[in-house]
Amino acid sequence: MTNGTRTYSTGTGTGAGTRTFADARRWALIGAELTFEAVAGLDDAGYAEPSALPGWTRAHVAAHVAANAEALSHLVHWAATGEPTPMYASPEERAAGIERGRALPAAQLTAWLRRSADALEAGMDELTDGQWRHEVVTAQGRTVPATELPWMRSREVCVHAVDLATGVSFADLPGDFLIALCDDVVAKRAAAPGPAVTLRAAAIGAGWELPGDGEPVLVTGELSDITAYLTGRDVDLRAADGSPAPALGAWL
């Protein structure tokens, strides 16, 4: 069904219809810059402050984003050479890398964050059209063309720029990115049990439907708040009757 100028995205959609490869490259650069701005000036004490993610400090988030850039660079190498290069050797190695990173002095952690991001962008810049079409395997075991890597990176840097809890909010992210992210999250959530929810961002004529148990609960709000809700972030989003929006399970 439609609402204004935008088609409602259902849980059976792919989410890919609202974004292009060029979009994802642009969002990845924007998100990286927002991340750099979010950590600018943080000292050891600042990095030790809690992030928006339960149990993680800002240093944990920064180390995770830096390690993600290096892991995606492994997939860039895979696409460029055809040599299978997993993102991480194992889940344990991934966790250990974050722990090592979050213990770095502030200046070193910030430098790693920027160095790894710059190296990833440089590697992607060098891929040919044919190499972009090569298939790689993500940490979740999905086989995807390398053209998906910029989208994976843009999600990482944009959302975690907010999670660093230094002032960046979902409202600071590009609106077209938020729409694409909502499409993506709704498609993923449709595969898991949960409540039926109809989401409407009336200001931009956009909406999404989460299939699930029971009668759909209508939830309206700003696009930024709906995105925060769908991605499991803390936001005071309400149903049409004034009650809190239904709790959702984990996104990833």
On the question of pLDDT at 2 being above 60, the answer is no
Query: Does 5 score more than 50 pLDDT?
Result: no
> Residues in the chain, how many?
252
Q: Give me the percent of the chain exceeding a pLDDT of 70.
A: 93
CATH class of the domain comprising 19-169: mainly alpha
Answer for the pair 161, 34: CB distance below 8 angstroms, yes or no: yes
CA distance 7 to 228: 21
Single-letter amino acid, residue 124? M
**Predicted pLDDT at 252:** 78
Domain ranges of the chain: 19-169
Indicate whether 17 pLDDT > 80. Answer: no
- pLDDT 10s digits, 184-213: 999 999 888 999 999 999 899 999 999 998
Which helix (H) or strand (E) segment holds residue 80: the answer is helix 58-81
Q: Give the CA angle between residues 178, 181, 186 to the nearest 5°.
A: 125
- Cα distance between residue 183 and residue 188, in whole Å: 9
Instruction: Report the predicted TM-score, pTM, of the whole model to 2 decimal places.
Output: 0.91
CA distance 47 to 60: 8
Residues 6+ apart with CB under 8 A from 37: 161, 168
Write the DSSP symbol of residue 10.
P
* Token pair in block for residue 28: 């990845």
Over pLDDT 90: what percentage of the chain? 86
State the sign of the Cα–Cα–Cα–Cα dihedral 102, 106, 110, 115.
negative
Q: Which two tokens stand for residue 123?
A: 């590697």
| Residue corresponding to tokens 């990115």 | 177
List the single range of 15-19, 32-36, 73-77, 153-157 with lowest mean pLDDT: 15-19
- The amino acid sitting at 138 is T
Mean pLDDT of the chain: 92
pLDDT tens-digit map of 118-144: 999 999 999 999 999 999 999 999 999
Per-residue pLDDT band at 251 (split at 50, 70, 90): confident
Q: Which two tokens stand for residue 185?
A: 């999250």
Tell me phi and psi for residue 23, to 5 degrees. -55, -50
Residues forming a β-bridge with 208: 9, 199
Q: Which two tokens stand for residue 163?
A: 């999670």
